[in-house]
Amino acid sequence: MATESVSGTAMPNNQSRPGCLALLRIPLFRLLAINLAIGACAAALLVGGLLWLNPGHLRDLIFADHSGGVALGLLLASFLITFGSAAMGSAIMAQGRKEDQDRRDGGHGSQLAVRELARRARTR
């Protein structure tokens, strides 16, 4: 699909958009961005919960220091990297699972295993 520019030449729509938005049109990058956001939310909830529950006087230790923001930033960044990469990795690994289930009559995994074992027993 092309649009006419002022000079009258055709210009594709995706060139008029910024680079970041153009990346989100690619399904793989969109999948990774969504799951990174999910991991970031989980990390923020965990850090907030740790500060709220104050296990081992963690909140007191962080805010007693004159540079507590650095410690809080490092804690949040480490959880963000951990949970973001875990969410993105699990999304990539689970990507082909739906296609496999659709090819096998759409049953549950345990039912498919029972059918497969019964089929193997009959062929022996």
Percent above pLDDT 70 for the chain? 73
> 58: helix, coil or strand?
helix
Per residue, what are the HEC states of 88-101?
Answer: HHHHHHCCCHHHHH
Q: What ranges make up the beta strands (E) of the chain?
A: 2-4, 10-12
Average pLDDT, the chain: 82
Cβ density class 71-82: b for 16+ within 10 Å, e for less: ebeebbeebbee
pTM attached to this predicted model: 0.62
User: Length of the chain in residues, anyone?
Assistant: 124
Give residue 108's pLDDT: 57
pLDDT digits (tens, 9 = 90+) for 34-80: 999 999 999 999 999 999 999 999 999 999 989 999 999 999 999 99
As a whole number of angstroms, the distance between CA 42 and CA 36 comes to: 10
Q: At 1, is the pLDDT very low, low, confident or very high (cuts 50, 70, 90)?
A: very low
Average of per-residue pLDDT across 84-113: 76
Percent above pLDDT 90 for the chain? 52
Q: At 33, is the pLDDT very low, low, confident or very high (cuts 50, 70, 90)?
A: very high
> 1: helix, coil or strand?
coil
